[in-house]
């Protein structure tokens, strides 16, 4: 029997990232996308012109990007992040959204909603040079001072456990900023509500963008 194909995600790079418990449990990693997949991922990343995060139901993934989503869909991430955070994520409902275009309204400091357990942001923008749009680990509802900062260059990743202290955000930026967001939710009902809200927000943005 042939060995299974290796997907775009480098799970060891994610596992070996820098973990910090304060001000909330979070992980910062680089090199989380395999080099041999990068050119194809750049080519196949969906061009989503509306700002914000898009539910998978709103577009059709193809090629290498579809392979990335398939790898996520097999549950490859859960054992890695469960080990990092000491919390079992296996079996929790998972939601994936995709970001291509940013608006100046994005990035305000927030902690995420109570239905979320953990979030992973996989950055996929090639050659990011701007000082803006870099995710920050915060100790409160202000962008400064910050405790750590990470640019959205392809292969970088930021993961954290949601709590009332999990403040994060980034300085405003407008234009292309490629991100895949993976979120684990407390239960199936929370996942269904989140998906419905995400689809409604996506529809509403389209309605008022014309």
- Report d(CA 81, CA 75) in Å as an integer: 11
β-partners of residue 28 are: 18, 158
The pLDDT assigned to 5 comes to 55
The pLDDT assigned to 40 comes to 98
pLDDT cut 90: percent of the chain above it: 85
pLDDT cut 70: percent of the chain above it: 87
pLDDT tops 70 at residue 156: yes
The pLDDT assigned to 191 comes to 52
- Domain positions in the chain are 11-208
Structure tokens at 26: 């979070």
- Report d(CA 101, CA 99) in Å as an integer: 6
Structure tokens at 65: 């990007």
Structure tokens at 119: 């979030």
Average pLDDT over residues 20-37: 98
| pTM (2 d.p.) | 0.88
Closest of 68, 75, 94 to residue 9, by C-alpha: 68
pLDDT tops 70 at residue 186: yes
Instruction: Note the CATH number of domain 11-208.
Output: 2.60.120.620
Average pLDDT over residues 181-195: 74
In which band, very low, low, confident or very high, does the pLDDT at 192 lie, cut at 50, 70 and 90? low
> Exposure string (b/e) for 167-176, b if CB count within 10 Å is 16 or more?
bbbbbebeeb
The pLDDT assigned to 112 comes to 96
Closest of 69, 109, 119, 101 to residue 205, by C-alpha: 101
The pLDDT assigned to 187 comes to 82
* CB 83 within 8 Å of CB 159: no
Q: List, for residues 76-127, the tens digit of each pLDDT value.
A: 999 999 999 999 999 999 999 999 999 999 999 999 999 999 999 999 999 9
Task: Map tokens 């990092």 to a residue.
Answer: 84
């Amino acid at each position: 029997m042939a060995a299974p194909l290796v997907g775009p995600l480098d799970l060891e790079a994610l596992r070996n990232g820098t973990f910090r418990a304060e001000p909330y449990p979070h992980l910062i990693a680089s090199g989380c996308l395999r080099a041999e997949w990068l050119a194809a991922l750049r080519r196949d990343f969906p061009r989503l012109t509306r700002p914000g995060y898009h539910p998978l139901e709103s577009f059709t993934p193809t090629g290498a990007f579809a392979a990335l989503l398939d790898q996520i869909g097999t549950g490859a991430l859960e054992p890695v992040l469960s080990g990092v955070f000491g919390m079992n994520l296996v079996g929790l409902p998972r939601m994936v959204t995709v970001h291509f275009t940013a608006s100046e309204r994005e990035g305000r400091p927030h902690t995420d909603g109570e239905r979320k357990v953990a979030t992973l942001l996989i950055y996929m923008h090639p050659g990011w040079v701007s000082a803006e749009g870099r995710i920050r680990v915060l100790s409160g509802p202000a962008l400064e001072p910050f405790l750590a900062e990470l640019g959205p260059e392809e292969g970088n990743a930021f993961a954290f456990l949601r709590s009332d202290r999990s403040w994060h955000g980034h300085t405003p930026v407008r234009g292309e900023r490629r991100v895949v967001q993976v979120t684990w939710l407390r239960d199936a009902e929370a996942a269904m509500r989140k998906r419905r809200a995400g689809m409604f927000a996506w529809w509403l943005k389209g309605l008022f963008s014309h």
